[in-house]
Amino acid sequence: MISTQQKYVDPLSWFVATLPLLVIIVWFLMAVLGSWLPLQPNVIDLTKILVPPDVNNMMGFDDLGRPIFDRLVLGAGTSFTVALWVVCISLVVGVVLGVISGYYGGWIDQILVLVIDIFLAFPGILLAIALAGIMGPGIENVVIALSIVGWVGFARLTRAQVLSVKQREHILAARALGSQSPVIFARHIVPLIMAPIIVEASFGIASIVIAEAGLSFLGLGIQPPDASWGSMIRDGTRYLLVAPHMVLIPGIALMLVVLSVNLLGDRLRDHLDVRNN
C-alpha cells in the first residue's frame, strides 16, 4: 500500500503570495476592458458632490459629482498605456545602444558612457518634469519625456552584460566564422542577457507608474476630462478633510499596483537567478 503525504498549504500564505498577481490582473483588465464597460467617468451630477462611499456607489463621488470608480478605471488605462509604451521604447533604445557600446568599445563606448553620466547627473523625475514642462501636457509628451529618461538604465545594464559575455567561446567562434555583427547580436548576445533586462523592465513599470502619477499631480501629464490617478489625488487634496475618499481610493490603487509590480519583479529576479537554481 502506497501512502501519499499531501503538503499543507496555509490559505493566508497562499493569498499573500497570490495577491500581487491578482492586483496586476485586475489592473490589466481595467485598462483593457475599461473602454468597453458602460462607464460614465465625465458625467457631472451636482446632487452627488463629495458624496462618500455607500451601498449604492462603493467608491463615492468627487468634487464635481463624478463617480470615482469610473474615473479610477479610466486612470488605470492611462497608467497602463504610459507604462507599456515607455518600457517598450526605453527597452529597445537602451538595449540597442548598450549592445553596440559594449560590443565595439572604443570611442563609441566612451561617448555612450559620457551621455549616461550626464543623464545620471540629474534626478530622473526632475528631468522628466523639465521635459514635460517644455513640451507641454498630454499623454504623448509624457511618454516621450519618460522615455528620454528611462532608456539610460537599460543601456547601462545592457552594456555591463555585454562586456561580461562578448569574450565567450561561441561568440568568438561566430566572429571567426565571419558572422555579421547584427547576427551575432540577435543570436548569440541578446538571448544571453535578456534575463536581467526583463527584471529591469518589471521594476521600470513601477517607477513609470509613479512618475506618470507625479507628472499628472503637477498638472504636466494627462489633462481633464481624461482621468489619471495622479490628477485624482491632486483634485482630492483640496477636500482632504471633508472627503478623504477622493485621495485615499486612487492613492491605495497606486500603492497596490506599484507594490505588486515590485513584488513580482523580486520573484522574477529570484527565479531567473542561476545561483538559486
Q: Is residue 112 part of a domain?
A: yes
- How does pLDDT run across 107-137, given as a tens digit for each residue? 888 999 999 888 888 887 888 888 888 888 8
Task: Return the C-alpha cell found at 264.
Answer: 513580482
Task: Return the C-alpha cell found at 246.
Answer: 477622493
Q: Is residue 164 part of a domain?
A: yes
Q: How many domains does the chain have?
A: 1
What gap in Å lies between CA 239 and CA 201, rounded to an integer?
A: 36
Q: Is the dihedral of CA 133, 136, 139, 144 positive or negative?
A: negative
pLDDT of residue 3: 46
Q: Is residue 17 part of a domain?
A: no
**pTM to 2 decimals?**
0.87
Distance of CA 111 to the CA centre of its chain: 28
Q: Is residue 35 part of a domain?
A: no
Q: Is residue 236 part of a domain?
A: yes
Integer angstrom CA distances of residue 97 from 43, 86, 261: 47, 16, 26
CATH number at residue 149: 1.10.3720.10
Q: Domain containing 163: what range?
A: 83-276
- How does pLDDT run across 158-173, given as a tens digit for each residue? 999 998 888 888 888 8
Q: Is residue 49 part of a domain?
A: no
What are the φ and ψ backbone dihedral angles of 31, each rounded to 5 degrees? -70, -40
Residue 72: closest CA among 237, 218, 204, 252: 252
pLDDT of residue 189: 85
Distance of CA 156 to the CA centre of its chain: 18
